[in-house]
C-alpha cells in the first residue's frame, strides 16, 4: 500500500489530503489540513485583477507547509491544483512559476469545468448510494462549480460561475453585523449571477434532482446544524448528512444578526470561516431556490479526492500499458 497526497490552492484556503492508496483507489485518509490564505479577500484583485505580493507570499508559505507535511507522512506523490480567483488573475502564470521555484511543487491551474468534474468525482465516490438525476455544487471563495447528470445514459453537464463567498463578502458586507441594505444588495447580486448563468436547463429545472453540496460553507452549515465540535468535523462524521432549506434559513437568520465576535464562537464554525459564512450561507439558500430543491446532501469529500482519484486512475492506465 502506498501513500499519496493532493493539494487544492483556492480563493480562501489551501487544503491537503494525504491518503493510503492501492490498486487505483483511496483506501483511507491519513491526514487533512487547511490553511486560510484569504486570496479572495485581496483588494488588489478587485482593483487590478492582480495577485498582490502579500497574497502570493501567504499562499506560497501555506503550500510549503502542506507539502512538507505530506512528505513527512510518507507521500510518494503530491498532486497540486490551483482554482478560484487564481484562474482569472492577470499574473497567474508568474505566480505558478514562483510556487515551483520556492516550494518545488508543480501546481496545475485547472479550469472551472475541470474543477466541476473532479469535485463531482470525489463527492460521488464518497456518496455511492446516490443515483441520477444528480447535481453537485462546490461553493468556494471565488467561484462555484456545478455538475449535473439527468440519468445514467445522459451526458454529464458542467458549469463554473463567478459566485464566491469570500469575493462577495469583500464587495458587499462592510458592517458588523451587516445591515439590511447590504444584505439586500448581496441577495440581488447572487440572484443576478444565478439568473445569468448558462445552466444546462434554462426552461425547466431537473425534476427529482438529488443535490450534493461541498465546500467550506456547506461543511460549516452541516456542522452547525449537527452541533459537531470543530475537532470532530470529518467526512466520516458528516458525509451524507441531509439538510433542508428551512434549517439553513434558520441558521442564516441567526448568523446575519451576530457580530463577528459571536459568530466566531458558534459550535461547528471556526474563526476564519465566520468571516464569510453569511455570504456563503445566502449563496447556498439561493442556489437551492434557483434549482427548486428543498434538500441538500453534504459531502466533505470533494476536489481533493477527485484530484487523487484522477491521478490514480491515469497512473494505473500507464502502469498497465507498460506490462
Computed over every residue of the chain, the mean pLDDT equals 92
Residue 170 host element (H or E): helix 165-172
**113 half-sphere exposure, CB direction, 13 A CA radius:** 5
Neighbours of 250 (CB within 10 A): 13
**CA 204 – CA 164 distance, rounded (Å):** 25
Strands 144-149 and 210-214: unpaired
Residue corresponding to grid cell 499574473:
91
**CA 268 – CA 229 distance, rounded (Å):** 5
**CA 315 – CA 94 distance, rounded (Å):** 28
**CA 97 – CA 243 distance, rounded (Å):** 42
Q: Which CATH architecture has domain 2-110?
A: 2-Layer Sandwich (3.30)
* 3-class state of residue 250 by DSSP: helix
With beta carbons less than 8 A apart as the criterion, state whether 17 and 115 touch: no
Task: Quote the distance between the C-alpha of residue 214 and its chain's center.
Answer: 6
Provide the pLDDT for residue 315.
66
pLDDT of residue 319 exceeding 70, the answer is no
pLDDT confidence tier of residue 317, bands split at 50, 70 and 90: very low
Dump pLDDT digits (tens) for 21-75: 988 889 899 999 999 999 987 777 767 789 999 999 999 999 999 999 999 999 9
CATH of domain 128-300: 3.30.420.150
With beta carbons less than 8 A apart as the criterion, state whether 300 and 74 touch: no
Dump pLDDT digits (tens) for 181-199: 999 999 999 999 999 998 8
**CA 49 – CA 90 distance, rounded (Å):** 6
Neighbours of 314 (CB within 10 A): 11
Give the DSSP per-residue string, 50-118.
---HHHHHHHHHHHHHHHHHHHHTT-SEEEEEE-GGGGG-TTHHHHHHHHHHHH---EEE--HHHHHHH
pLDDT of residue 243 exceeding 50, the answer is yes
CA angle 139, 144, 148 (to 5 degrees): 100
160-196 burial code (b ≥16 CB/10 A, e <16): bbebbbbbbbbebbeeebbeeebbeebbebbeebbee
Residues carrying CATH 3.30.420.150, the chain: 128-300
Dump pLDDT digits (tens) for 3-27: 999 999 999 999 999 999 988 889 8
pLDDT of residue 204 exceeding 90, the answer is no
Residues carrying CATH 3.30.420.40, the chain: 2-110
pLDDT confidence tier of residue 323, bands split at 50, 70 and 90: very low
Provide the pLDDT for residue 322.
37
207: left (phi over 0), alpha (psi -120 to 50) or beta: beta
Dump pLDDT digits (tens) for 77-122: 999 999 989 998 999 999 999 999 999 999 999 999 999 999 999 9
pLDDT of residue 244 exceeding 70, the answer is yes
* 3-class state of residue 17 by DSSP: strand
Amino acid at each position: 500500500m502506498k501513500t499519496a497526497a493532493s493539494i487544492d490552492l483556492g480563493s480562501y484556503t489551501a487544503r491537503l489530503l494525504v491518503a493510503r492508496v492501492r490498486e487505483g483507489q483511496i483506501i483511507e485518509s491519513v491526514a487533512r489540513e487547511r490553511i486560510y490564505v484569504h486570496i479572495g479577500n485581496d483588494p488588489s484583485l478587485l482593483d487590478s485583477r492582480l495577485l498582490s505580493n502579500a497574497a502570493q507570499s501567504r499562499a506560497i508559505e501555506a503550500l510549503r507547509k502542506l507539502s512538507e507535511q505530506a512528505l513527512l507522512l510518507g507521500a510518494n506523490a503530491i498532486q497540486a491544483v490551483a482554482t478560484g480567483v487564481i484562474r482569472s488573475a492577470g499574473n497567474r502564470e508568474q505566480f505558478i512559476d514562483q510556487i515551483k521555484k520556492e516550494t518545488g511543487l508543480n501546481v496545475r491551474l485547472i479550469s472551472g469545468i475541470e474543477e466541476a468534474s473532479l469535485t463531482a468525482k470525489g463527492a460521488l465516490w464518497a456518496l455511492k448510494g446516490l443515483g441520477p438525476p444528480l447535481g453537485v455544487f462546490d461553493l468556494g471563495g471565488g467561484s462555484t462549480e456545478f455538475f449535473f447528470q439527468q440519468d445514467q445514459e445522459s451526458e454529464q453537464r458542467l458549469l463554473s460561475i463567478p459566485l464566491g463567498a469570500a469575493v462577495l463578502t469583500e464587495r458587499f458586507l462592510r458592517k458588523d453585523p451587516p445591515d439590511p441594505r447590504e444584505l439586500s444588495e448581496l441577495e440581488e447580486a447572487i440572484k443576478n449571477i444565478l439568473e445569468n448563468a448558462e445552466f444546462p436547463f434554462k426552461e425547466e429545472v431537473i425534476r427529482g434532482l438529488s443535490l450534493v453540496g461541498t465546500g467550506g460553507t456547506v461543511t460549516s452549515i452541516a456542522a452547525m446544524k449537527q452541533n459537531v465540535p470543530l475537532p470532530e468535523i470529518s467526512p466520516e462524521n458528516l458525509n451524507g448528512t441531509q439538510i433542508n432549506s428551512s434549517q439553513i434559513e434558520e441558521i442564516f437568520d441567526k448568523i446575519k444578526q451576530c457580530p463577528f465576535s459571536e459568530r466566531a464562537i458558534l459550535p461547528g464554525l471556526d474563526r476564519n470561516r465566520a468571516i464569510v459564512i453569511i455570504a456563503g450561507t445566502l449563496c447556498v439558500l439561493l442556489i437551492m431556490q434557483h434549482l427548486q430543491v428543498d434538500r441538500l446532501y453534504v459531502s466533505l469529500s470533494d476536489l481533493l479526492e477527485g484530484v487523487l482519484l484522477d491521478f490514480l486512475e491515469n497512473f494505473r492506465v500507464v502502469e498497465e500499458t507498460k506490462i
